[in-house]
Structure 1
Amino acid sequence: MNRISLLCLLLPFLIASCGSSESRSTEGLKEDTIPVKLLALSPHSSGQEVRTSGVFTTDNEAIVSFKNGGVINRVYVKEGDAVKAGQLLATLNPTEVDASVMQAKLSEEKAKRDFKRAQQLYKDSVVTLEQFQNAETALRIAQEQLRSANYNLNQTEIRASASGFVLRRLVNDGQVVGPGTAVLQLNKTGGSDWQLKVGVSDKQWAAISLGDSAIVTSDVINKAIPAIVYKKSEGIDPSSGVFTIMLKLTSGSDGLKIGAGMFAQAIIRSKQQTEGWQIPYDAILDGDAGKAFVFITDDGKTAKRIEISVDAVQQDKVLVSAGLENARSLIISGSAYLTDGSPIKVVD
C-alpha cells in the first residue's frame, strides 16, 4: 500500500521530467538550424578580365647568328652590355673561310688567263666560237665564286645593327656552332615602343582580341599605364607552355625608367561578352582547376551543395560560367558551417 502511494506521488514528477527532456531536445534541434544570408541569382553578360604578368620588351628584339658554321673565335660582349650601331660583337675563326677565298682568287686568275688566251686564239681563228664562249663562261663563274667567298668572309663577324644592349649571350669562345645557331639576343633601345610580353591559357587566349584594352602596373613604376593588345601568338610557346600576348603601351610611358626584362602585371579587359553569374568571393568553398563548390537553397529551409565552373576571379567577385542554371538563391553567409542538407534560417 505504501509502494502504491509512493508511485502515485512520483508519477507527476516523472511526467514533468519527460516533458522537460522533450523540450530540451526540440530546442537542440532549433539550435542546429544555421542562420544564413541569401543572394538572388540572375545571369547577365559581362566582359571578362584576364589578370596576368610578364616582362617588358620592344618590337626590335632580335636573335643574331653566323651565316656559316665554325669555331667561335671570340665574343666581345656579355649580358647587360650596352652596344652601339656597327660595334663588333663576335667573330668566327676565319681560317677555313680564308682558304676558300684564296682558292676562289686562284681560280679567277686562272680563268682570266684562259679567257685571254682563248680570245686571242679565236681572233686568229685557231679555236672555235664555242671554245671561246666556254672560256668566257668559266671566267664569269670564277668571278662569282670569288664574290661569294668574300661575302662569307664578311659573315665571320657579327656587328650591331642598331644601338641597344645584350639580353642574352648564348655561346662561349671556342665553341663550335652550326649555321644559324643563336649567338646573342639583342634589344634596341630608345623611343616609346615598349611592350609587355605576357602568357595566358588557351581559354583566356580565345577570349582576347586584338585591340582589347589593358592596364599595366609594376612595383617599380608608381602609376598604371594604359595599353592595348598588339599581337597574339598563333601557337603555344614551347619553352613556357602558354600562349603569348603582346601588350603595347599606348601613352604615359615617356620618361619612365623601363628596362627589358622588367617584371610587370596586367589586367586585360576583353570585349567578348560572356553569359554567367557574378557571385561574392566569400560564397566559394574549396575548389581547384576552374571548379568550385557553393551552397544554394530552393525553399529557404535546406542548404544544397553544388559544383560550379569558375571562369574568372575579379577582385572580390567570381565569374561563374556554369552550374547555377537551376538555382534560385545563393547562400553568401554561413557557408562554412553548412553541410549538404543542413537546415537553415534566412536572416537579413
Structure 2
Amino acid sequence: MQTYSYYSLGVALLVAMGACSSGSRDTELPGGDTIIPVRVQPLTATDTAGAVVATGTFTTDDETALSFRNGGIIQQLRVREGESFRKGQLLAAVEATEINTALQQAKLGLEKSERDYRRAQQLYADSVATLEQLENAKTAFDAARQDVERVSYQINHTAITAPFDGYVLQRPANIGQVVGPGTPVLVVASRGKGGWLLNVGVSDRQWSAIRVGDAATVTTDALPGKDLRAEVARKSEGVDPLSGMFNIYLKLADAPVSSLASGLFGRATIHLAKASGVWFIPYEALMDGDGGKAYVFVTYDGQTARRVAVKVSDIQQDRAVVTAGLEDGGSLIVSGSPYLRDGSPIIIK
C-alpha cells in the first residue's frame, strides 16, 4: 500500500506539472480516471531491402548416388573421381559367385518340379493320382519358376551401368570392400545439364524472408577474388534433421565447371526483394515481448491509448523492427507505457 501511494503521488505531480504548463487541460476525468502524460512519435512505414549471408557446400542439380541393390564384395570399379563416362558403360560390379550358385540351384529345382508336374498329369489321366496331387504339383512348378525369375533379377543388379553421360563426383568405396544394399558406391552427375548449386542453411526467419528468384552473390576459396552470380532456385519445405536449419539452393549462372567440385565450401549473400510495411520503433515502446510477438500502445485521437499486438522481426541495438500490427497508423506512445492499459486517457507532453 505504501508503494502504491508513492506511485500515485508521483503521477499526480506529473499531471499537475502538465496542467500548469498547458493551463487548459484537466488532470482527472469526471469518472475519477487519471490522465497519464505520455510522449508520442508518428508512425511511418519504411521500405527496406536487406540481405542474408549464409554458408554451405557446392553440389549439382542432378547429383546421383549409385549403389547395388543387394550389396556384396566389390569386384570392379572402372572409373575414378573426375573421370567421364558414357551412358550404358559398366561402372562397377560385385562378386557374383554366391548369386550364380543360387541361380543354378533355382534352375535345378525348376527342372525337378516340372518333371513332377508332368508325372502327376500322366498319373491323373490314368486315374492313379488325385486332383489334389495334381494341383499341388502345379503349385510347386509355378513357385520354382518364380524363384528362377527372382534370382535372375538379382543377377541383373550385381553391376552398375551408367544411366546417362556424365562424370564421377565422388568414389566413396573401393575394390574388395563389402557394401550393403543401398550403400553409395559412386556419386555422379550428368555433364552440362544440371549445373552447379550452392546449398546453404538458414534460420526459419531468414527462410520466410527469402523468395525464389532472389539474386545472390557467391564466393569460394577455390576461385579467390571472383564473385559468382546466382539466384535462389528452390527452398526446402522442411527442416534438415541433421543441421536443424532450412536449406536454400542457389543456382550459379556463370560458374566454370572445371573449377568447382562437389562438397567445396562457399559463402553467399542473398539480396532480398524489396519489402514494404516495416516500422522502426524505440525498443522501450515494446511491452510483454515473447519471441516474435509483443505489444505497444498507440493513440489515434491524441486522447486515448490503445493496446496493439505487433510482430517483431529483429532487435537492433536501441530499436525494434516491426513487420505487422501498425498498419492502421496513428502515433506511437514512446514513454508512459508501463502506466497504461487499453483505453486509458492520456495527455501528450
TM range (shorter): 0.5 to 0.7
In 1: Cα distance, 2:132 partner to 2:117 partner: 12
| Correspondences of 1:138-217 after superposition (within 5 Å) | 138-191=140-193, 193-209=195-211, 211-217=212-218
AA aligned to 1:123 is A
Spell out, residue by residue over 1:172-192, the C-alpha distance to the aligned partner (whole angstroms, 9 max, x if none): 221112111121111112236
TM-score normalised by the chain length of structure 1: 0.60
Q: CA deviation at 1:151?
A: 1.0
CA distance in 2, matches of 1:274, 1:85: 53
- Counterpart of 1:324 in structure 2 is 319
Q: Taking structure 1 as reference, are residues 320 and 160 closer, same or farther at Cα in structure 2, changes over 3 Å only?
A: same
- Match status 1:234 vs 2:244: no
- The answer to whether the Cα contact below 8 Å between 1:56 and 1:263 also exists between their aligned partners in 2 is yes
Larger radius of gyration: 1
User: Can you give the 5+ residue segments of structure 1 that lack an aligned partner in the other structure?
Assistant: 1-40, 279-310, 312-318, 329-348
Question: Matched residue of 2:102: which SS?
Answer: helix
Q: Give the Cα separation in 2 of the matches to 1:161 and 1:181.
A: 17
Structure 2 contact 230–250 (Cα < 8 Å) conserved: no
8 Å Cα contact 1:231-1:247 kept in structure 2: no
Match of 2:247 in 1: 244
Using the size of structure 2 for normalisation, the TM-score is 0.60
Aligned to 1:3: none
Deviation at 1:141, TM superposition (A): 0.9
CA 1:49–1:171 in 2, change beyond 3 Å: closer, same or farther?
A: same
- Counterpart of 1:213, as a letter, is D
1:242 deviates by: 4.2
User: How many positions carry a matched residue from both structures?
Assistant: 246
Taking the aligned partners of 1:153 and 1:193, their CA distance within structure 2 comes to 34
Equivalences for residues 187-336 of structure 1 within 5 A: 187-191=189-193, 193-209=195-211, 211-218=212-219, 220=223, 225-232=229-236, 234-236=238-240, 238=242, 242-249=245-252, 253=254, 259-261=260-262, 265-271=267-273, 275=278, 277=280, 321=316, 323-324=318-319
> Which residue identity does 1:225 align to in structure 2?
R
Over the aligned positions, Cα root-mean-square deviation in angstroms equals 3.4
Structure 1's 274 and 107: CA in aligned 2 closer, same or farther, altered over 3 A?
farther
Q: Tell me the alpha carbon deviations over residues 119-153 of structure 1, each in whole angstroms, 9 at most, x when there is no partner.
A: 12222222122221221121111111111101111
Distance 2:132 2:52 in 1: 74
Residue 59 (structure 2) aligns with: 57
Q: Tell me, in whole angstroms, the C-alpha distance in 1 between the residues paired with 2:91 and 2:277.
A: 51
State how 1:17-166 maps to structure 2 within 5 Å.
44-166=46-168
Identity %: 39
Q: Does structure 2 retain, via aligned residues, the 8 Å contact 1:48–1:274?
A: no
User: Helix, strand or coil for the counterpart of 2:87?
Assistant: coil
Structure 1 residue 94, shift from structure 2 partner: 0.8
Paired amino acid for 1:187: A
Query: Cα deviations across residues 197-234 of structure 1 (Å, max 9, x unaligned)?
Result: 2232444234324x241224457596753523323251
Q: Which amino acid aligns with 1:106?
A: L
CA deviations on 1:326-348 (whole Å, 9 max, x unpaired) are: 9x9xxxxxxxxxxxxxxxxxxxx
